[in-house]
Amino acid sequence: MKAAVLRETKKPLQIEDVQISKPGPREVLIRTVAAGICHSDLHIADGLYPYPLPCVLGHESAGVVEAVGSDVRYVEPGDHVITCLSAFCGHCEHCITGHMSRCTGAETQRGPKEDPRLTTEGKPMFQFINLSSYAEQMLVHEHTIVKIRKDMPLDRAALIGCGVMTGAGAVFHTAKVEPGSTVAVLGCGGIGLSAINGAAIAGAGRIIAIDMVGSKLNLAKHFGATDVINAADDDVVKVVRELTGGGVHYSFEAIGLKKTAEQAFKMVRTGGTATVIGMIPVGTMVEIHGAELLQEKKLQGSMMGSNRFRVDMPRLVDFYLSGKLKLDEMISSTLSLKDINQGFETLRKGEVARQVIKFD
């Protein structure tokens, strides 16, 4: 199969022929239909987060089941599925207490004595966070997929696999936004727009979108923002506090920067919660004023929207098909796999919401 391989950070991905193994007892072989281009992949490619190389990147995807292992009962060939990087073992402390997105069990991967799922010229190829979806096929553990209804367009469904689940889930699960509350979202890429959309679905009374790109702010209005602030022109913390009479109840940082994480904390009111969704580079320290903690303000992180993806993703599909969740507007362009480096370069410029790779 053809796959986009990262052999060296800060260098272009290479389209190569990669060999894929046959499904083990609890594994599923999927024909990839669509894969979103996500900042998480770009962080690995640019060396901001360490990962063993060479590997096939990609993790936000949807496809059709081609074959299943002998012990798989959840899906069968022909089923449509969304993948999720939050693979769960089902029996660790995190899983049995309802926090499956935190699972760190390694049993959803092949062990060192087993044949690797991916190889090239007889040498092992690392699989990116259990998936590797910049490829024509994926071989995954059954606990990395969710079955969805077949009337859901798979290029839209792919977005739910990471960005949408991360943004909306941070609103629904991590922060638990209440109806009528005030919300600010810093960053209007795919994850930020999903947080805005999620806040609107949750019934937030006022939703403030913050970005430096005018086109993204215009898009944010379609996703539910009631107010927009251009961070290139304004002191965003001051403006948010003025708009809300003291700060928002909930803020969401969806960029992954020290400055914006600190701004997110500063703009919440007494008793408010700031949730960092963005991937802040390894080694970066975020500073807050200790006195503000006495106001019962909270700064927290969110791992993939604190999801329970086998429950959440079908619900998000239903939201889309009923018109509540906006995915069509999020897709800036569609590309083929050979255009992956062009897609990464566009993502670096920060001017698009989501690009989607579509496979033949």
Best CA proximity match to 308, nearest among 101, 80, 85 = 101
CB-hemisphere CA count at 13 Å for 311? 11
- CATH 3.90.180.10 domain span(s) along the chain: 2-148+327-358
At 25 the three-state DSSP class reads coil
Segment (H or E) for 94: helix 93-96
Q: Active-site residue 89, yes or no?
A: no
Catalytic residue among 21, 43, 92, 333: 43
Q: Active-site residue 38, yes or no?
A: yes
- Dihedrals phi, psi of 345, to nearest 5 degrees: -65, -40
Q: Active-site residue 40, yes or no?
A: yes
pLDDT value for 92? 93
Catalytic residue among 38, 84, 103, 188: 38
Task: Answer whether 204's CB lies under 8 Å from 183's CB.
Answer: yes
**Look-up: residue for tokens 């950070």?**
9
Segment (H or E) for 314: helix 309-321
Catalytic residue among 84, 103, 162, 188: 162
Q: What is the DSSP string of 174-236?
A: II-PPTT-EEEEE--SHHHHHHHHHHHHHT-SEEEEEES-HHHHHHHHHTT-SEEEETTTS-H
Mean pLDDT rounded to a whole number for the chain: 96
Domain 167-303 maps to which CATH number in 3.40.50.300, 3.40.50.720, 3.40.630.30, 3.90.850.10? 3.40.50.720
- Per-residue model confidence as pLDDT tens digits over 124-158: 999 999 999 999 999 999 999 999 999 999 999 99
Per-residue pLDDT of the chain (360 residues; tens, 9 = 90+): 999 999 999 999 999 999 999 999 999 999 999 999 998 999 999 998 999 999 999 999 999 999 999 999 999 999 999 999 999 999 999 999 999 999 988 889 998 889 999 999 889 999 999 999 999 999 999 999 999 999 999 999 999 999 999 999 999 999 999 999 999 999 999 999 999 999 999 999 999 999 999 999 999 999 999 999 999 988 999 999 999 999 999 999 999 999 999 999 999 999 999 999 999 988 999 999 888 888 999 999 999 999 999 999 999 999 999 999 999 999 999 999 999 999 999 999 887 889 999 997
In sequence order, the 6+-apart residues with CB closer than 8 A to the CB of 13 are 4, 5, 6, 45, 57, 134, 340, 341, 344
In sequence order, the 6+-apart residues with CB closer than 8 A to the CB of 245 are none
- Per-residue model confidence as pLDDT tens digits over 284-331: 999 998 888 889 999 999 999 999 999 999 999 999 999 999 999 999
Specify which residues 70 forms β-bridges with: none
Q: Active-site residue 55, yes or no?
A: no
Write down the pTM of the prediction: 0.94
Q: What is the DSSP letter of 342?
A: H
Q: What is the DSSP letter of 152?
A: S
Q: Active-site residue 43, yes or no?
A: yes
> Which pair of structure tokens corresponds to residue 129?
């966070």
Q: How far apart are CA 22 and CA 140, in angstroms?
A: 10
- Per-residue model confidence as pLDDT tens digits over 157-175: 999 999 999 999 999 999 9
Task: Answer whether 273's CB lies under 8 Å from 249's CB.
Answer: yes
- CATH 3.40.50.720 domain span(s) along the chain: 167-303
Q: How far apart are CA 236 and CA 242, in angstroms?
A: 10
Best CA proximity match to 337, nearest among 36, 10, 21, 22 = 36
Domain 2-148+327-358 maps to which CATH number in 3.10.28.10, 1.10.150.20, 3.90.180.10, 3.30.365.10? 3.90.180.10
pLDDT value for 246? 96
Catalytic residue among 39, 55, 59, 141: 59
Amino acid identity, position 305: G
Torsion of CA 257, 258, 261, 262, to 10 degrees: -150
Q: How far apart are CA 252 and CA 326, in angstroms?
A: 19
